[in-house]
Chain A
């Protein structure tokens, strides 16, 4: 099976702009989670979608949003970008059952730079 794919791999934006990142899970996986990774804060959980519904969310402002489509592909949107949003954004999908305790498999990430 193909792994988790994320597009684009690299992105440069300016403050105030908005950005949309895409994630395609492993075939058959219905759960997609998003994480933000920065040198200062480490890996932080953004939110998780399962069968097109947000199942869980972390402590991020409303500028961060997401959605999931019927084919399990997910998008993450960040509006009104701030310098502090510069990070590696990682997407992960879970097994076919989508149970919270299932192993997560990660994509290569999207590196976002905000100027």
Chain B
């Protein structure tokens, strides 16, 4: 079995603040893939990033950055200088070849206050 934990249910920040969304995963497989999705109020899940278990390099894309640490089974997501448009629910997800199904975390609702 596999599991994804997003302990932060809701986070509120003031615009321009930095915010980190936590994701902790569990899997017995050595080969697995981690994802982050954004779900704005419209409902569609928007793909943000995919990372495989063999690539522990951190990723930066504009104001977004991801920190993958196998030692702590975490794949955290940081938004720098948050903006109101970042307000959404963010999901972390995991899939491994052995389990064959995508497991989503329960999501973190981010509210950016102007």
**Which residues from chain A sit less than 8 Å from chain B, CB to CB?**
33, 42-43, 45, 56, 58, 88, 90, 92, 100-101, 103-109, 111
Contacts and interface: CB of A to CB of B under 8 A. Distances in A.
A101 B97 contact: yes
A33 B100 CA distance: 12
Contacts of B37: 106
Main secondary structure of the interface of A (DSSP, over half): strand
A109 B100 contact: no
Contacts of A33: 102
Interface of B: 33, 35, 37, 42-47, 50, 52, 91, 95-97, 100-102, 104, 106-107
Given A100-B95, A103-B35, A106-B37, A56 B101 contact: yes
A43 B101 contact: no
Contacts of A107: 44
B44 A106 contact: yes
B47 A104 contact: yes
